[in-house]
Amino acid sequence: MSVATSALLLIPSLASAHSIAGDRVFPATMAVDDPGVGDEANLVYGHQRIPGDDGDQSINTFNLEYDKLITPRLAFSVTGSYDVQNNPTARGFNNFGLGLKYLLYVNEAHEFMTSVGVNAELGGTGSHAIADSFSTISPTIYVGKGMGDLPDSLAYMRPIAITAEAAPALTTGAGQPNAFNYGFTLQYSLPYLQQHVHDLGLPKPLANIIPIVEVPLSRSQGQTTGTVNPGFIWINRYGQFGVEAQIPINRASGSHVGILVQAHIFFDDIAPTTIGKPLFQW
């Protein structure tokens, strides 16, 4: 056995992670949803300051999402968040959300994956001080493409991946504006570099880090808002941890740089025969 092969065997395997297309593992991103489905729980803390009627408003959000596989390709999700804001001071649960997501197509050779889904924010289910009284329905498409099919001359670009999502946000409230939400991510996977391009001998935890930039955007009433989120995700077989800055693209998107912090658990890898098992094996 060669030294290089021995070194590769010491790198923690991500082969059981849920969002896989060939050799590509798409991590569970924080602001632009990944194209895969799985049994998982996701906790994200966010802090941001945005312009308000009486000056800047500080908002802290604790968001929890639980996804359950109905079949190996179909997942059901429940989301909820607790928000704390000032100017004016208010706190409480935002509206709860439900979702369905179906893994439509995977091309392993070209590391391509796409899913479709629908998400619904249920109006009136949250605190009157925080939540809207109307609902929002968002049919969504998700795509992901890894660059592992690039030629040998571009081998060090193979760890790059791009994901994206797009969704009209259709409100049920009379006179409430609709929106179009979209975004993309650019990733460079150091685990992919180590395992499928060249073992650089990176030490832990660096060998499991994916540097990433997410760009979530929204268009409504002729105005675009959003942020540019540089950061990183540390990933292993059972979960991941991530941190991103949130840089507003304009004044309407925020007045200061915010932050996102994520903790994510893969139940389909931790307990694949019990709580992480699909309800039906279709």
**Angstrom distances, CA of residue 84 to CA of 47, 48, 87, 131:** 10, 11, 11, 12
Among 247, 232, 154, CA closest to 190: 232
The secondary structure of residue 134, as a DSSP letter, is S
Q: Give me the helices (H) in the chain, please.
A: 3-9, 190-192, 267-270
CA atoms of 82 and 259, how far apart (whole Å): 16
Residue with tokens 């507003």: 248
- Rounded to 5 degrees, φ, ψ at 185 are -130, 150
Predicted pLDDT at 32: 98
Across 152-190, b (16+ Cβ under 10 Å) vs e yields eeeeeebbbbebbbbbebebeeeeeeebebbbbbebbbb
The answer to whether the beta carbons of residues 102 and 74 sit under 8 Å apart is: yes
The answer to whether the beta carbons of residues 94 and 130 sit under 8 Å apart is: yes
Predicted pLDDT at 233: 98
pLDDT means per 10 residues, the chain with 282 residues, are 35 56 96 96 94 82 97 97 91 97 97 98 95 97 98 98 98 95 98 96 94 98 97 96 98 93 96 94 80
Predicted pLDDT at 5: 35
Gap between the terminal Cα atoms of the chain: 41
Predicted pLDDT at 282: 74
Predicted pLDDT at 50: 84
Query: What domains appear along the chain, each with residue ranges and CATH number?
Result: 3-270 (2.40.160.40)
Using DSSP, state whether 253 is helix, strand or coil.
Answer: helix
Predicted pLDDT at 52: 73
